[in-house]
Structure 1
Amino acid sequence: MRACKTLLAVLFIHAGISSSPSYAISAKILETDICVYGGTSAGVIAAYTAKKMGKKVLLIEPGRHLGGMSSGGLGYTDIGNKFVVTGLAKDFYRRIGSYYGKFEQWIFEPKVAESIFNDYVKAANLEVLFDNQLIKVKKKGNRINEITLEHSKEPEATIVRAKVFIDCTYEGDLMAGAGVSYIVGRESNSQYHETINGVQLMEGHQLPDSISPYVIPGNPGSGLLWGISKQKLNANGTGDKKVQAYNFRITLTNVPENRIPVTLPENYDPRKYELLLRIKERDPWKSLKDVFIWSLMPNGKTDINNKGGFSTDMIGMNWDYPEAGYEKRAKIWKEHEDYTKGFLYFIGNDPRIPLHIRTEMKQWGYPKDEYTDNNHWTPQLYVREARRMLGELVMTQHHCEGKELVSDGVGMAAYTMDSHNCDRLIADGMVKNEGNVEEGGFGPYPVSYRAIIPRQKEAVNLLVPVCLSASHIAYGSIRMEPVFMVLAQSSAVAACLAIDENAAVQQVDVKKIQTILLNDPLADGSTAEVIVDNEHNDLIDIQGEWEVKKRGGYGPSYLVHDKKNGSPGIVRFTPRIVKNGTYRIYTYFPKQKNSSPKAYFTIHDGAGSIEKSVDLSAVQIVGQTSGEWVSLGSYHLSAGKKSYVEVSTRNAGGVITADAVLFVPEK
Structure 2
Amino acid sequence: VDGDRVNNIEVEHVYTGNRTILTGKSFVDATECGDLLPLTGTEYITGTESRYDTGELHAPEKADPMNNQAFTVCFAMDYQPGKDNVQDPPKEYNFWKNYVPEMTPPWSGRLLDLSYSDPRTLKPKKLGFDPTGKDLKDVLNLWNYRRIINRNNFTEGTYEGDITIVNWPQNDFFPGNLIDVPEKEFQQTVEKAKQLSHSLFYWLQTEAPRPDGGTGWHGLRLRGDIMGTEDGMAKYPYIRESRRIEAEFRILEEHVGAENRKLVAGEIEGQRSAEFYDSVGIGYYHIDLHPSSRGNNYIDFSSLPFQIPLGALLPKRINNLLPANKNIGTTHITNGCYRLHPVEWSIGEAAGQLIAFSQKGKIPFKAVRERHELLSDFQRMLRNQGVETEWK
Same-fold status (TM-score > 0.5)? yes
Q: Report what 1:6 is aligned to.
A: none
Q: Does 1:515 align with 2:380?
A: yes
Q: Does 1:144 align with 2:6?
A: yes
Q: Report what 1:504 is aligned to.
A: 364
Give yes or no for contact 2:92–2:195 (8 Å, CA) kept in 1.
Answer: yes
CA RMSD of aligned residues (A): 3.2
Q: Deviations over 1:124-167 (max 9, x none)?
A: xxxxxxxxxxxxxxx11111000001123435421110000010
Q: Does 1:288 align with 2:123?
A: no
Change (3 A) 1:291 1:335: farther
**SS of alignment partner, residue 460 of structure 1:** coil
Equivalences for 1:210-221 in 2 at 5 Å? none
Give 1:446 deviation, angstroms: 0.8
Q: Report what 2:183 is aligned to.
A: 326
Equivalences for 1:276-355 in 2 at 5 Å? 279=110, 287-288=128-129, 293-294=142-143, 295=145, 296-299=147-150, 300-307=162-169, 311-318=170-177, 321-349=178-206
Q: Deviations over 1:56-93 (max 9, x none)?
A: xxxxxxxxxxxxxxxxxxxxxxxxxxxxxxxxxxxxxx
**SS of alignment partner, residue 489 of structure 1:** helix
Q: Report what 1:397 is aligned to.
A: 253
Give yes or no for contact 2:283–2:307 (8 Å, CA) kept in 1.
Answer: yes
Give yes or no for contact 1:260–1:367 (8 Å, CA) kept in 2.
Answer: no
Give 1:379 deviation, angstroms: 1.0
Q: Report what 1:616 is aligned to.
A: none
**SS of alignment partner, residue 251 of structure 1:** strand
Equivalences for 1:98-109 in 2 at 5 Å? none
**SS of alignment partner, residue 253 of structure 1:** strand
Q: Does 1:253 align with 2:112?
A: no
User: Structure 1: which 5+ residue stretches go unaligned?
Assistant: 1-138, 199-236, 425-432, 523-530, 536-554, 557-667
Change (3 A) 1:441 1:357: farther
Structure (1 or 2) with the greater strand fraction: 1
Equivalences for 1:656-667 in 2 at 5 Å? none
Q: Report what 2:62 is aligned to.
A: 238
Change (3 A) 1:380 1:265: farther
Q: Does 1:172 align with 2:34?
A: yes
Q: Report what 1:575 is aligned to.
A: none
Q: 2:289 aligns with which of 408, 413, 419?
A: 419
Q: Report what 1:273 is aligned to.
A: 97
Q: Report what 1:438 is aligned to.
A: 300
Q: Report what 1:449 is aligned to.
A: 310
| Aligned mates of 1:142, 1:504 — CA distance in 2 | 12
Change (3 A) 1:465 1:156: closer
Q: Deviations over 1:86-127 (max 9, x none)?
A: xxxxxxxxxxxxxxxxxxxxxxxxxxxxxxxxxxxxxxxxxx
Overall identity of the aligned pairs, in %: 21
Give yes or no for contact 2:224–2:230 (8 Å, CA) kept in 1.
Answer: no
Q: Deviations over 1:260-287 (max 9, x none)?
A: 9353355333122214696569989884
The normalised TM-score by structure 2 is: 0.75
**SS of alignment partner, residue 21 of structure 2:** strand
Change (3 A) 1:153 1:141: same
Give 1:514 deviation, angstroms: 1.7
Instruction: State the structure with more CA Rg.
Output: 1
Equivalences for 1:467-546 in 2 at 5 Å? 467-508=327-368, 509-521=374-386
Q: Report what 2:262 is aligned to.
A: none
Structure (1 or 2) with the greater helix fraction: 2
Q: Report what 1:602 is aligned to.
A: none
Change (3 A) 1:330 1:368: closer
Give 1:342 deviation, angstroms: 1.4
Give yes or no for contact 2:73–2:233 (8 Å, CA) kept in 1.
Answer: no
Give yes or no for contact 1:292–1:304 (8 Å, CA) kept in 2.
Answer: no
Q: Which of the pair has the greater relative contact order for Cα pairs under 8 Å at 6+ separation? A: 2
